[in-house]
Structure 1
Amino acid sequence: GCRPRAIFLYNRHTTRYPDKENIVEMQDVLPQLLRNIQSAVKEKKVHICKADLEQLERWKMPFKPHHDNKVTPSGKSVVGDQVRRLRRRFPGLFQGRFNASDFVVGYTSRERTRQTAEAFLEHLLSKQDFDAVNFGPPQDSLLQFHKECNKLIKEKKSTPVEVDKFEKGPYMKRLLDTMSWRLGFNVTRDDVDIMYRACVFEYAIHEASPWCAAFNEAELKAIEFREDLDDYYKDAYGLKRNYAQACPIVRELVDRFRNVSKDPSQPTKLLYFSHAGGFKKVVARLGLYRDAE
């Protein structure tokens, strides 16, 4: 069979905390939403089970502004799991004598990508070998290629028409009505966003969040669909300009593999850590996971 000679990893950073702006907003708004629920409980307007209400009563804000976008401990653990899977899948690539020149490590100027790169190599290498790896400076021009397209960035600021239609359509109206009935007060779209953000971040980082009780499964899927729709038109197959931008990464992949095929002394562990916006564009550029027309 085939024997892998090199690996090219283009990775989103791992699990992170919310950004400072979102944390401050949650600190300001969530306690008021909790008070609204507590007032509705007294008026017997709430339709949430007792156990979930007790969890909400005990809720304390788990994030601080200084957490701003940093990688979480759970995120570092996720990276360790990823390294173990890669070791099992490509044992020949990660065995043998360490050579620092085998490694190319790329990350952006945002701290979370450097932290993810470090966590990856800490799980992969010994302390001595880790210290020998040359991280080099951030590579924003390559790994945040989409930020270079200033004209396109300005164009994409508006909400895609399809997303706007869904947002203003009957499904989201029913969602607001149902959530208002469940929580006992008039829930706004902004309220939904901030409770959803608390739910997903707390669940991703701490594996539980009392704010998830504000939603049923169908509502969570509806909000996820809205986000997927937005991604489709801003980062993926919805517009050709999205994935047309990803050529620098594809060129890097092809050039690196071509170099290794011609010269075995070239680096064979090509590890790049970027962001969701770039990652989705690269996936689309490679034609992956595209539904039949």
Structure 2
Amino acid sequence: MVIIIIIPVLSITTGLLTAMATAEATCYKPRERDGQCRHDPYRLPSVLFGTKTTYRHATGLHTKWASRARVPGCRPLLLMIFMRHTTRFPGKKDLRKFEGRLPELQNMILNASRVGSGTLCRQHVNSLRKWKYNWDASMENRVTSSGIRETGEIASRFRRMFPGLLPSRFYQDEYVVRATSKNRTRDTAYAFLKAVLYRKELKKFKRERALGVDDDMLAFQSTCEDKLEKQGVNKTESQEETKFLDSVMVQQMMQTMSRRLGVNVSTDDVRLMAKMCAFEVALRGWSPFCYLFDKEDLDLLEYAEDLDDYEEDAYGNERSVALGCLLVEEMVDKIREKLRTSLTGGASFHTHLRAALYFTHAAVMKSLVAKLGLGRAAPPLRASNYCRYRTHRPWRSSNLVPFTANFALVLFQCGNAQLTVLPILNEKTVWLPGCRSVFCPLEDFLRSSVVQSSRNCDPEKICSKGWNASGRPE
């Protein structure tokens, strides 16, 4: 009797698994082109490119206007913002690759089109023909004018949301501003303050050299990698990303791209063209290289980057998550500084601090997002579950860590004694683990796993060769 019952169950289960495997393999459906342009040939197939996504495309926000944040019975006391640098030009390595390979690919594709090979439509071929590479080494990692403008818009919106916390006059005891030693974070800091301070006050800020540089806190991924390298521990490539790029779906995409372009292209070629598409969209709003792709192609490449981010800088890397303690510890320290109390008794407001602003990089923002318990995927992102997460996934770098990504924590006083915090990611409130709602009582926040796991934060230990997540030497 038992055997009779079990056999059909196994049969059904096997059938379901087979069906799921088939669906996984056929989730990507390449679209063959016929050389005819669609009704709107210059519409971008996608604007989501992982960490190369513009803030405007990630959030839909592109004005200076925002409503004042009103919480009945509460008044804001302190604003803390951690912000990734804004839109930038490519780095040295990418510039070298672009200059060396993209003009070659351009000529190969155009030559193929002339002899009737490939299936690109006339408008897309013409756009590619007009393209000229005109970036040079002087532009390396330089922030763009569009990024400066976008940073100013973000600053203006925060000022409208919390007008009393970003005053137009600069005083050293009201503002704390920190950046890394890289120009792109410092330039982002100045762009933010330019939208907040009076012109003469910004000059005063620069004259007093009030912008602090703190690579240990705001560039900890790089400093940790350097320390580990000296101990013989080298950074490894994402295994899941590598598996995914070798998958049937990506290989199908490569074959489709080769037929479409009339040229046999490698995975590196396709990723390079997609990266140029991303940078040019960020810098000027469009790129002829984007038109070589369909949305489904770019979705695959975006997921590949998400796999790398998730595995290397977020939940797949316990060391990276642990290092987020530096930023959580800084938040708690600034709250203590504002309150000047042990946080176990009554609060007394002895300091004038209103805003603490920190300007950092993508890797640090990914670590912070993971440390806060945001974007965790169950099951984790894997090379094998693209179809499950193709349209919706908890971790999507395009939404979580675009250019100018920001996390804000606002401290409120409600009534005579109640203190609460409001966490905001990319200008949307988020619910932190251990909190009863998005508007979190301070005592709940301080008791949360986010804060408790950040106590006794020791980057020297975390960045030692023998460290493991338990904190005990291996």
Shorter-normalised TM range: over 0.9
Instruction: Give how far 1:286 is off.
Output: 1.0
Matches within 5 A, 1:69-108: 69-95=141-167, 98-108=170-180
CA contact (8 A) 1:259 1:266 kept: no
Q: 1:20 aligns with which of 92, 96, 99?
A: 92
Counterpart secondary structure, 1:7: strand
CA contact (8 A) 1:100 1:129 kept: no
1:100-138 per-residue CA deviation (whole Å, 9 max, x = no partner) reads: 421111111111011101111111111111122243442
> Does residue 1:151 correspond to 2:228, yes or no?
yes
Give the number of the structure whose alpha-carbon radius of gyration is greater: 2
Instruction: Give how far 1:62 is off.
Output: 3.8
Matches within 5 A, 1:1-293: 1=72, 2-95=74-167, 98-133=170-205, 134-149=209-224, 150-151=227-228, 155=233, 157-262=235-340, 263-292=349-378
Instruction: Give how far 1:4 is off.
Output: 1.2
CA contact (8 A) 2:338 2:351 kept: yes
Instruction: Give how far 1:152 is off.
Output: 7.8
Q: Aligned residue pairs: how many?
A: 293
Query: Distance in 1 between the 2:158 and 2:132 partners?
Result: 38
1:17-60 per-residue CA deviation (whole Å, 9 max, x = no partner) reads: 00123213212211110111111112211211211111111001
Counterpart secondary structure, 1:6: strand
Query: Identity rate of aligned residues, in percent?
Result: 37
TM-score, normalising length from structure 1?
Answer: 0.94
Query: Distance in 2 between the 1:96 and 1:231 partners?
Result: 37
Shift in alpha-carbon separation, 1:70–1:77, aligned structure 2, 3 A: same
Counterpart secondary structure, 1:10: strand
Instruction: Give how far 1:269 is off.
Output: 1.0
1:169-207 per-residue CA deviation (whole Å, 9 max, x = no partner) reads: 111101110100110010111111211111000000000
Q: Greater helix share, 1 or 2? A: 1
CA contact (8 A) 1:17 1:72 kept: yes
Query: Distance in 2 between the 1:182 and 1:264 partners?
Result: 67
Query: Distance in 2 between the 1:204 and 1:193 partners?
Result: 16
Shift in alpha-carbon separation, 1:80–1:137, aligned structure 2, 3 A: closer
Map of 2:407 onto structure 1: none
TM-score, normalising length from structure 2?
Answer: 0.59
CA contact (8 A) 1:4 1:90 kept: yes
Query: Distance in 1 between the 2:234 and 2:303 partners?
Result: 19
Counterpart secondary structure, 1:124: coil
Q: Greater strand share, 1 or 2? A: 2
1:285 partner letter: K
CA contact (8 A) 1:107 1:114 kept: yes
Counterpart secondary structure, 1:4: strand
Unmatched 5+ stretches in structure 2: 1-71, 341-348, 380-474
Q: Return the structure number with greater relative CO, CA threshold 8 A, min gap 6.
A: 1
Counterpart secondary structure, 1:101: coil
Unmatched 5+ stretches in structure 1: none
Query: Distance in 2 between the 1:47 and 1:79 partners?
Result: 40
Query: Distance in 2 between the 1:266 and 1:284 partners?
Result: 31
Counterpart secondary structure, 1:5: strand
Counterpart secondary structure, 2:359: strand
